[in-house]
Structure 1
Amino acid sequence: MNLQTNVLIIGAGHMGLVLGSRLKFLNIDYLILDKHKHVGDQWRKRYQGLTLFTPNKLNRLPGFYIPHSQGDYLTKDEFADYLSEFALHHQLAIKTNCHVLRVTHDGINEFSVFTEHGVIKAKQIVLATGAFNTPVKLSNRDTQFLQLDLEQLQKMDFKNKQILVVGDGASGRQIAKKLNDKNKIYLAQGKERNLFPEHILGIKTFSLLKWFGLLRLPKSFKIAQFLKSRDPFPDTDINNKVLLALGVDLKSRVVSVGDECITFDNGEKLAPDILISAIGYKDGFRFIDIPQLYKDNNEFDISAAEMMGIFQIGRPWQHNRASGLICGAEFEVENVLEKLNRS
C-alpha cells in the first residue's frame, strides 16, 4: 500500500470520523487510519461494564440521529456501534487494521507515514487518537501478583480473587463496583475526588452545564479554570458511601509496589492476587520521528507541530470542557478546519 492524500487523520474515534465527514463534504482529499480491525473497536475493547457519563442527547454526532441505549447511559458497545453506523452512513475513506509505526517529514511540505502495510504520503496530519490511547501502568516490575491495565479488562471474568484497583476516578470506581460481587475489592484513593449529582431538579447535570454554556467556556476563563482544577465527574452511584455499603475496602494512596505486596502511605501493606492500574492515560506520540517537534524535556511541542502541519483534536480541555467530549466534536472540527485552511 503506497498512497497519497492531502489530510491524513490518525484515529477513527468520534473526532476523526466527524472531521472526515466534513472534509468529504468540502471535497477535500483525506484518509482516516485506525489500528483496530473495525470502527468502534477502541470502545469495544475497553472494560466490561463501562458506560458513558454524558446523556444521550449530548452524544449525538453532527448531522446524525441521537443515539439510544437500553439503560440511562450508552454502554461502550452501544457507542461503538453508533460510530460504525456513522462511518457507514457517510461512506468515509477509512483504512482499519492499519497501525502507524512512524511519521517523518521531508523538510519541505510532505509527511511520510509508515504503516504495517506500506507508506502513505500526506500534506497535513491530524492526530485524532484522543486522550485514552496509552494506559498508564502503576509498575513495570515483575511481581508475584498479576498486573493489568485498562486495556486488559475487556472480559473481567474474575472470581474469588483479592483485587486492588489503584485510581479512584470514574473508571476505577466503575471497575471496583463491577468486580465487587464475585471478588474482594480494595480501592486505593489518592487526591480528593469531586463528584457532582447525576441529576439536579430531575434534569441530567451535564445537560444543565451545556444549557448554561459552561461546557463551552474558554479554558482561560476563571470559572473554566475552577472546573478544571476540581475535575468533577457525575456520581452514578459510585461515591464512597455506596462503595463501602457494597463491601469495597477503601485504601489510601499507594506509595510503592514490591515483588510480593503493595505499600500504602499510612504504612499498611497488601498482597493482592490482582493489581489493576486505573490511574489514567498518557500521550503516545513517540511514533512521530521528527526531532525538532520535541522540547528539551521530550515533551511534544504542539505549536511547532502546527507550524509544520500536524494538528491535534479532541484533547481534554484543549479549548474548553467540551473539547474531549462527544458534544464538542462540531466546534473542535471547525477549529481544525480553519487551521488546515491556513497552513
Structure 2
Amino acid sequence: MTERFDVVVIGGGQSGLAMGHYLARQGRSFVILDGSERVGDAWRRRWDSLRLITPHPYNDLPGLPFPRDTGAFATRDQTAAYLEEYARTFRLPVRLGAKVTALRRGPSGSFAVVMGDEVVEARAVVVATGAFQKPYIPLDRSHLSPEVVQIHSSDYRNPRELPEGDTLVVGCGNSANPIARELSGTRRVYQSLGEMMASPRRFLGRDIFFWLYTLRLMEVTVESRLGRRLRELPEGSIGLTPHDNARDYGVVLLGRTLEVRGDEVTCEGGRTVKVRTIVWATGFGHDYGWIEAPVLDARGAPVHRRGETEVPGLYFLGLKWQYRNGSSLLGGVGRDAEFLAGRLDRHLG
C-alpha cells in the first residue's frame, strides 16, 4: 500500500531538519527522506580536520542552540552530532537509507516520490538537498595521466590517504586554503588561484561574522541592489588566505589552471609544473536531474522565488542566496524554512 503524507521533505541535512521542525509544529503528516545511514553524514564525509567558518552564535537551527562548549569553531563531527541531536530532540520522522531517484507530479496535483521500487505520495514536496550537491570540476581532464591521482575536495580526508609527491590544490576558497595548508606539512604543495576575495578572520577585535550580522550584511536580500552586486563577486574565503599559506607554510602560488596534460599542469602566466596529485577544490554544481517537473532553468538550477516554484506544492530550501546572503548557512536556513512553512500551510489549507 502506498504511503501518503501532507509533505515529503527530500534531504535530511540542516535544511530538511529545520523544515521538519516547523512542519511538526503545524501538526502535519510528513516524512524526511535521506539516502545516508545517519543524520549528519554529509558532514562526516568531509575532511577530518574541517571546522565551521562561523562561530557558535551563528549556527543555531530553530528551537535548539548549537552547543557553546565545542571550542572556538566546531569540528566536522561536532556539527554532525548537533544535527543528530536536533532530529532526536524534536522526534523528527527521518527515514534513512531512502535515496530518492525520481520526483513526479501526478494528474491530481499530488506528487510521487520514487526510491527505487518504493513510492510515497505527498500533497507537497520540499527539496532540501542543500547548496553543495554535485562536485564541479571546470577543466577537461581527459589528457591527464592515469598515474596522477585526482580527487575533488569533497572526497579529501587527510594527507595520509594521498600518495607522496608534489600536490596541486586548485582553488582559493574556504576548502582549498585549509586543505593546501594541511598538505604542506607532508609534501610540496602548489595552489592554483582564480579570482579571489578574502575577508579577515577578525576586524577591530571582533570576529568578522559579528560585523557581517551587526551591519546586517547577512540579511541583504537577493533582489536588493546590494544583493545583486554581492552575487556578482567571486567566491571568497574567511580568515586563512593563499598568501597566508605561501608566507607561513611554503605553499607555492600559481595562476589559474589552464590545462592538464600527462603529469603536467599549465597555469596562467606560463608556469608549468609536474604533480603526483591534484585536489580540485572547485566547488559544486546542481544535481536535480531526478526532478520530473518544469522547475529548472537551462543550467539545471531551480527557478523559484524565495524557494517557491511555479508548480503548486513544490518548494526548494537551503539554496545559496535563496532569499538572503546567509540563506545556505547552518544558522540561516531556519528563517527560510519558517517562511516556506507559512506558504505550505496556505497551500495545504
TM (norm. structure 1) is: 0.92
2:180–2:245 CA contact under 8 A, matched in 1: no
Report the equivalent of 1:47.
47
- Show the 5 A alignment for 1:48-67: 48-67=48-67
Counterpart CA distance in 2 for 1:203 and 1:29 is 44
Report the equivalent of 2:92.
92
Paired AA for residue 176 in structure 1: A
Any idea what the Cα deviations from partners look like across 1:9-66, whole Å, max 9, x if unmatched?
1111111101101111110111101111100000000122211111101001221133
- Structure 2 counterpart SS, 1:112: strand
Counterpart CA distance in 2 for 1:53 and 1:162 is 28
Counterpart check, 1:14 vs 2:14: yes
2:5–2:30 CA contact under 8 A, matched in 1: yes
Aligned match for 1:308, one of 303, 312, 320: 312
Counterpart check, 1:227 vs 2:225: no
Counterpart CA distance in 2 for 1:23 and 1:112 is 19
- Show the 5 A alignment for 1:1-343: 2-68=2-68, 70-116=70-116, 118-137=118-137, 138-139=139-140, 141=142, 143-144=145-146, 145-157=148-160, 158=162, 160-191=164-195, 193-230=196-233, 233=236, 235-290=238-293, 292-295=294-297, 300-302=302-304, 305-343=309-347
- Structure 2 counterpart SS, 1:327: coil
Counterpart CA distance in 1 for 2:22 and 2:240 is 38
Counterpart CA distance in 2 for 1:257 and 1:234 is 25
Paired AA for residue 172 in structure 1: A
Structure 1 residue 76: deviation in Å?
1.3
Structure 1 residue 285: deviation in Å?
0.2
Structure 1 residue 130: deviation in Å?
0.9
2:199–2:239 CA contact under 8 A, matched in 1: no
Alignment CA distance shift 1:244-1:213 (3 Å)? same
The count of corresponding residues between Structure 1 and Structure 2 is 341
Paired AA for residue 41 in structure 1: D
2:35–2:97 CA contact under 8 A, matched in 1: yes
Structure 1 residue 298: deviation in Å?
5.4
- Structure 2 counterpart SS, 1:322: coil
Structure 1 residue 203: deviation in Å?
1.6
Counterpart CA distance in 1 for 2:46 and 2:38 is 14
Counterpart CA distance in 2 for 1:323 and 1:143 is 40
Root-mean-square deviation (CA, aligned residues, Å) is: 2.2
Range 107-116 or range 39-48, more displaced: 107-116
Alignment CA distance shift 1:300-1:310 (3 Å)? same
Any idea what the Cα deviations from partners look like across 1:110-164, whole Å, max 9, x if unmatched?
1111113611111111111111111113445363311101231134423632111
Range 211-220 or range 314-323, more displaced: 211-220
Structure 1, unaligned runs of 5 or more: none
Alignment CA distance shift 1:170-1:17 (3 Å)? same
Structure 1 residue 233: deviation in Å?
4.5
Structure 2, unaligned runs of 5 or more: none
Paired AA for residue 147 in structure 1: Q
Structure 1 residue 239: deviation in Å?
4.3
TM (norm. structure 2) is: 0.90
1:13–1:130 CA contact under 8 A, matched in 2: yes
Percent of matched pairs sharing the same residue: 26
1:47–1:156 CA contact under 8 A, matched in 2: no
Range 274-283 or range 139-148, more displaced: 139-148
- Structure 1 counterpart SS, 2:177: helix
1:69–1:78 CA contact under 8 A, matched in 2: no
